[in-house]
Amino acid sequence: MSDPLLKLLEIRKRFGDNEVLKGVSLDVTAGEVVSIIGASGSGKSTFLRSINALEMPQSGFMQFEGLSFDFRLDSRLFPTPAQLQSLRARVGMVFQSYNLWPHMTVLENVTHAPTKLLKLARAQAVQEAEALLSRIGLYEKRHSYPARLSGGQQQRVAIARALAMKPRLMLFDEVTSALDPELVHEVLVLMASLASEGMTMLLVTHEIAFARDVSSRVLFFDKGVIAEQGSPDILRQPESERLQQFLHRILHDKVGHAISNDSGQGVQA
């Protein structure tokens, strides 16, 4: 077994009196695709955002590519601003909301961070960005502004913008949940392509079929802890009653949504 690319130990996060993360530990090796599932409020998104310190844990330890953090405020290993910048330069993150800069074109969105943070020459940044945009089928949209794109196109640009920084780890926080159902597929296809190429990925998702087909490992969060984890087989044969209940509800919700959509289309017709 190779050393983990990312190591997290006893990560705790509290908002006021609400302890959202209750000592979560995880090792991730290079090339793994780890899907994180769970009900709203279970701590999964907070956990993902803690990895690049968008949410700063109150305690716990983290190691990533030579960086070692102790999140206790009085620790000599508490992350410095320079260390956090180094971390975030190597950990790409894509959110539910696309967060594209509306005053910049697609090409400008993708080249901004490489030129500012990686200090790439403008010509090289443009060349690499255009190659990424060609890959995701949006080269012809490179001079368009985000408002002229569909939600699925904007999310693919957001992924390309993160990839332009050549990250060692990609974090995806429910990136399809704000999309219309017909636009979800194009984003999942891109993510599956990244997984097949060996990109190390952690993703919070409600797309259970995608998690089952693409993941190396699945984590089920419940009430601030990892309640069950294992290969994608746990989505077919969950051990815990809580995961069984969660998967049953997800399936029921999807069936109900499909029936509702079919009924709506019938009325409009």
Specify the pLDDT at position 254: 58
The answer, yes or no, to whether residue 260 has pLDDT greater than 70, is no
Give residue 177's pLDDT band: very low, low, confident or very high (50, 70, 90).
confident
Rounded mean pLDDT, 236-261: 76
Q: How many domains does the chain have?
A: 1
Q: What is the Cα–Cα distance from 197 to 33, expressed in whole angstroms?
A: 11
Give residue 269's pLDDT band: very low, low, confident or very high (50, 70, 90).
very low
Give residue 258's pLDDT band: very low, low, confident or very high (50, 70, 90).
very low
DSSP for 149-183, written as a single string: S-HHHHHHHHHHHHHTT--SEEEEESTTTTS-HHH
Asked if residue 98 is part of any domain, the answer here is: yes
Asked if residue 36 is part of any domain, the answer here is: no
The answer, yes or no, to whether residue 268 has pLDDT greater than 80, is no
Asked if residue 139 is part of any domain, the answer here is: yes
Give residue 253's pLDDT band: very low, low, confident or very high (50, 70, 90).
low
Chain centre distance of CA 89: 15
DSSP for 52-81, written as a single string: TTSS--SEEEEEETTEEEE-STT-TTSPPH
Asked if residue 61 is part of any domain, the answer here is: no
Question: What is the overall mean pLDDT for the chain?
Answer: 91
Give residue 97's pLDDT band: very low, low, confident or very high (50, 70, 90).
confident
Asked if residue 240 is part of any domain, the answer here is: no
Q: Which residues constitute the domain of residue 126?
A: 92-166
Asked if residue 103 is part of any domain, the answer here is: yes
Rounded mean pLDDT, 197-213: 94
pLDDT tens-digit series, residues 17-26: 999 999 999 9
Strands lying side by side in the sheet with 201-204: 91-94, 169-173, 201-204, 33-38, 217-222, 225-230
Specify the pLDDT at position 178: 82
- Token pair of 116 as six digits: 């500012």
Give residue 105's pLDDT band: very low, low, confident or very high (50, 70, 90).
very high
Q: Which residue has the higher pLDDT, 211 or 181?
A: 211
Asked if residue 100 is part of any domain, the answer here is: yes
Q: What is the Cα–Cα distance from 251 to 258, expressed in whole angstroms?
A: 11
Rounded mean pLDDT, 157-170: 95
SS3 18: strand
The answer, yes or no, to whether residue 263 has pLDDT greater than 50, is no
- Entry pTM: 0.89
Rounded mean pLDDT, 184-212: 93
- Token pair of 85 as six digits: 């910048």
How large a percentage of the chain has pLDDT more than 70?
Answer: 93
The answer, yes or no, to whether residue 266 has pLDDT greater than 50, is no
Rounded mean pLDDT, 47-66: 95
Rounded mean pLDDT, 144-162: 95
Asked if residue 247 is part of any domain, the answer here is: no
Specify the pLDDT at position 1: 56
